[in-house]
Amino acid sequence: MTQPVLPLWINGKAQASTGSRTADVFNPATGKAIRRTPLANKQDVELAVAAARAAFPGWRETTPLRRARVLMRFRELMQAHRDELVHLTSEEHGKTRDDAAGSLQRGIEVIEFATGVPHLLKGEQAEDVGRGVDCHSLLQPVGVCAGITPFNFPVMVPLWMFPVAIACGNSFILKPSEKVPSASLRMAELLREAGLPDGVFNVIPGDKEAVDALLTHPDVRGVSFVGSTPVAKYIYETAARHGKRVQALGGAKNHAVVMPDADLDFTADALIGAAYGSAGERCMAISTVVAVGAAGDPLVEMLREKAARLKVGAGEQKGVDMGPLITAPHRDKVRHYIDIGEQEGAKLVLDGRGLKVAGNEQGFYLGPTLFDQVRTDMTIYKEEIFGPVLIVLRADTLDDAIRLANDNPYGNGTAIFTRSGAHARRFERDIEVGMVGINVPIPVPMAFFSFGGWKASLFGDLHVHGMEGVYFYTRSKVVTSRWPAGEDQGPASLSMPTLG
Ligand code: NAD
């Protein structure tokens, strides 16, 4: 049976791609193709950029208060269509309904943050920087901005970007993951219903061809990216070479350090949620545990026992803890990592490879998997697996654990579990990671703080949303003013003016 092909969304309207390339979109729970996505080409990108460029001057002239009111209506519509958005997320990604609902809520919080834009855009002001001279700063929109997003949060990650971008007065082109395009198209319809002028928000489902056209287009001024590290690096380098500002968030290998003084039962529960939630397909998933001293043996036993009890199945079914992986090739890749871990001598404590889900035999499932006695030279430690595979390493001291984590090239998220304030303080201070949890396994995102990692987890310098998002989507301008009168009117001088 031929599946329906989704449209692009350009200039406030659904329209067909000018090209003919398409790709299957799957329901990973059943393993069946459910629709097709267009793969936008260069001409489609031209049309989207032209629409965004034409819409920009009018949107920029719309006052921040009025822009905020559009976002308030959009927020209400997102709430009213919660079930539908949760369904689209779960259907195309595979995550459980609860997890889809939680990530939708986190995304809605970014809209709420962005509705404060009249306050967020206030600049600084100083009187008398020189005699009779004042100074103030303005935050002005950048122009046409683009967002390129990954498969693992079909609603939340786009919402990390576009509410802040458009609140700041920019127009926006979203290139969602070709694996999960439907929720982005639905959000475009809701934005139109909320009163957003045509062309301010555009969606072009596609792949590398669309991305490259955006990265090299002279009218695109800013690029936000979230995805894997090799692609993040490519996006950063290519867009920067074409004169754009870029924030490119990459992959992760998040370590949780567990001290012997931690409440181990609480810790094991927290780690199970953080490792296997969303089938491990979260950039903030805890994929690596560093057990310090005597914590190791009892912790591994608790993790094995709790992980073995998880119910794996279709994310939309009640009572399911963990859904499938995104595609069959990705499931096979993760399964291959388990083979490699065994071959390299890690101790396989729980093996998810044999799992079958009755009634959904073609779905892309893999059971929770746990390795102990992993070493830093093993492939399963060095590479991001992005699946339900948790690995445990051992360390003798907190110092050793911090050193181990800091030597890892990634620096997205991390956590420490301890009852000691001194250990927590030491960890918070010395760990080289962008987002840190203390007895909290996944410490973010909070819309009113920024989200982003360090090292190979971020290319660029500004994180998404929070004030860093506002700074990314605005250019600052400093105005120095003088209204000469009477004795302030000195003679002309050719030397460098000093104001003081
Ligand atoms: P991905 O890098 O394969 O794809 C991300 C986006 O880039 C998609 O829109 C895709 O179409 C596009 N793309 C893919 N290959 C490209 C190429 N060669 N050239 C240009 N564009 C390309 O990532 P994914 O598999 O969709 O998502 C999983 C990855 O995202 C994981 O590595 C995960 O850690 C990471 N991630 C990071 C964060 C974060 O905040 N740091 C958040 C979510 C996901």
Radius of gyration of the chain, Cα coordinates, nearest whole angstrom: 25
As a whole number of angstroms, the distance between CA 286 and CA 172 comes to: 32
pLDDT value, residue 237: 98
pLDDT value, residue 487: 65
160 CA: nearest ligand 1 atom: 40
DSSP 151-171: SS-TTHHHHHHHHHHHHTT-E
Closest CA to 198 of 410, 47, 314: 47
Contact 368, 352 (CB under 8 A): yes
From the number of C-beta atoms within 10 Å of its C-beta (0-12, 13-18, 19+), residue 65 rates as: exposed
Residue 149 Cβ < 6 Å to ligand 1: yes
Residue 178 Cβ < 6 Å to ligand 1: yes
The residues, ordered by sequence, that sit 6+ positions from 90 with a Cβ below 8 Å of its Cβ are 96, 97, 100, 315, 316, 323
Residue 281 Cβ < 6 Å to ligand 1: no
Ligand 1 centroid to residue 132 C-alpha, Å: 53
pLDDT tens-digit series, residues 224-240: 999 999 999 999 999 99
SS3 76: helix
Active site residue 145: no
Whose Cα sits closest to atom 22 in ligand 1?
208
Residue 177 Cβ < 6 Å to ligand 1: yes
As a whole number of angstroms, the distance between CA 298 and CA 305 comes to: 11
The residues, ordered by sequence, that sit 6+ positions from 378 with a Cβ below 8 Å of its Cβ are 341, 344, 345, 346
The DSSP call for residue 295 is G
Residues in the chain, pLDDT under 70? 1, 487-490, 499-500
148 CA: nearest ligand 1 atom: 9
Ligand 1 centroid to residue 149 C-alpha, Å: 6
Element (H, E) at 372: strand 369-372
Q: How far is CA 218 from CA 214, 235, 240, 339, 491, in A?
A: 9, 15, 12, 46, 44
Ligand 1 centroid to residue 150 C-alpha, Å: 4
